[in-house]
Structure formats: C-alpha cells, structure tokens
Amino acid sequence: MKRFSPAKLNLFLHITGRRPNGYHNLQSVFCRVDFGDFLTFDKMAKSPNTPLLTLTGADNLTDNVADNLIYKAVHTLARTFPDHAHPLHIHLDKHLPTGAGLGGGSSNCATTLISLNELWDIGLSTDELINIGATLGADVPFFIFAHTHQTEAIVEGIGEQLFGIDLPNCEFLLLMPDAHINTAQFFAKDELKRDGILYAHDELAQVDFYQLDDRFGNVFEPLATQFSPNIHTALTYLKGLEDITCTTARMTGTGSVVFLPTPNINDETKHMWIKNAPCPAIFVKLFK
C-alpha cells in the first residue's frame, strides 16, 4: 500500500488562551495542499525474530527513532489492539522539510493510523482515529479529518476541534528558507500574543482568507522573523509580490515556510518568481 501524506497550510493562526495544564488554545483555518511525502506499507512474514516495525527513509529526522510519529502511531495501535498487530516495513519518501510549519510529521502519523486501520483490519471510526491521533500530535486530527471528511477546516482547542469550511480553489507560492523553529521555545516566549479573539464560525465563513485584513495573521510570525533573517528575507520577497496578486503573504504554523496565495498567475511569471526567490520555492494547489 502506497499513500500520499500531504502538507497543510495555516491561513491564519491565533492563540486564544492558555489552559491550566500549560497547553494553548488556538483558532486557525487549515487547508490541505498537493505537496507532501509518500509512505509505503508492506506486511512482513511473522516470525519470532521479526520486529513489529522496520522503518526506512526516516534516518536523521529524529535523534531517536522512537520519537518519530510514524513509530509512535504503529506502537500505539499495537499496544491498544495487540490481536490485530502484524509486523510491517514502512518506507518514508520524504519531501517536506522538517520544522517548516507544514505538518509533515503529523501528516505521516495520520497517514500511518489511517493505513494501519485498514491493513490490520481494526475497524476504527474516524472519530476514534481522531481521538488516538490527538494523543500523538496537535495537527494529527486535522489530517485524519481531511482524509475522511473535508480538506479545509476551522481548527480550535489544541487542534482536536474541527469544523469543515469551504474555500475557493487557489494556488500558493511556498518559500522554504533554511531555518528550523523550535516550537516549544516559541510557545514559551513571554511576548507571544495569547489573547486572540475566538471568532464565530459564521463570521469566519465570510472571510477572504487569501486577502487577509488586519484582524487575522499568524501570532508566531513576528517572533520567527526576528529569530531568523532567512525567514524575514523570504517573507519580504513575497510581500513585494502582493500588489500583483492582491493577496496577503504570511507564515504557516510555527515553522519556517512562508507563502502567498497566487490566483491566476501564468506559467512564465511563476517561473520567474521561483527563479528570483531567495530560497527554494514551489507552487502548490489546494488538495481537495
């Protein structure tokens, strides 16, 4: 079984408060795009010496393989449903940069949960998969929701509250500067704005998320551009194109990738913008 493991973009990201346990409540709109990794799943013959998981293609992504979200997904399902567990070889064909705000690790985790639910014939519902995914990573529930329900969603709570939203088709220019954001350190910063307004869903349904007004943005963007000159340079480049696209450049998630919605841009212009970009760049589309 070979599965596509797509990236996501945050069209805005606000922190609306902090819970007593230290976790942050957020409000965001996520959308799935046609840029991502690929995972291949192969069942292996059972024998006393066959490990539950042989994972290839994930070297150097984490210091310890047990910290990889693919590994965590496999072992979580195996502990919870031991009668269904079967040895696997999983190969990761990695394209998404790490620490980029694209949700690559969470997408890999969700793709693994979805695939093993089928391969191991566990029979979990979408809600049950989402509940398991929420224990593994904040973005994991969205990717499960996007696979089975709707590919764009209002996201709230710590990422587990999901409400489908319809967005018009669009392309995006993604810039991937050489920078790795430590999410935990950014969440701990005193200057992080944590008092964002929790907007009603009917109000969000009326927002043009490609041309944002001053109410919306990414609360991590000021921290990231101060932290990394490369992120600042990439975002400045995209902001220089806003008058042409009539859209708003911004950062996605808590990572390093910045992007600009680019409706109705011809191929010659796309080629020029990629050529002139200060770092690796790619055009992507909504993956509906």
Choose among 255, 242, 236, 252: nearest CA to 284. Answer: 252
User: What gap in Å lies between CA 110 and CA 37, rounded to an integer?
Assistant: 12
pLDDT by residue (tens digit) across 248-285?
999 999 889 999 999 989 999 999 999 999 999 999 99
65 — pLDDT class (breaks 50, 70, 90): confident
**Whether 24 and 101 share a structural domain:** yes
- pTM for the predicted model, two decimal places: 0.94
Mean pLDDT of 55-61: 88
Q: Which of 37, 72, 94, 139 is catalytic?
A: 139
CATH number at residue 128: 3.30.230.10
Q: Which of 8, 37, 72, 94 is catalytic?
A: 8
Question: In b/e form, how buried is each residue of 205-215, taking b as 16+ CB within 10 angstroms?
Answer: eebebbebeee
**Whether 210 and 112 share a structural domain:** no
In this model, does residue 10 exceed pLDDT 80?
yes
Assess whether 139 carries a catalytic annotation. Answer: yes
**Whether 142 and 209 share a structural domain:** no
Final residue before a domain boundary, out of 117, 148, 164: 164
CATH number at residue 208: 3.30.70.890
182 — pLDDT class (breaks 50, 70, 90): confident
pLDDT by residue (tens digit) across 95-136?
999 889 999 999 999 999 999 999 999 999 999 999 999 999
Q: And the tokens for 180? A: 């790795």
**Whether 260 and 157 share a structural domain:** no
**Whether 13 and 124 share a structural domain:** yes
Q: How many domains does the chain have?
A: 2
Q: CB atoms < 10 A from the CB of 123, how many?
A: 10
Task: Provide the residue range defining the domain that includes 249.
Answer: 171-285
Q: CB atoms < 10 A from the CB of 259, how many?
A: 29
**Whether 127 and 188 share a structural domain:** no
Final residue before a domain boundary, out of 164, 184, 214: 164
**Whether 69 and 8 share a structural domain:** yes
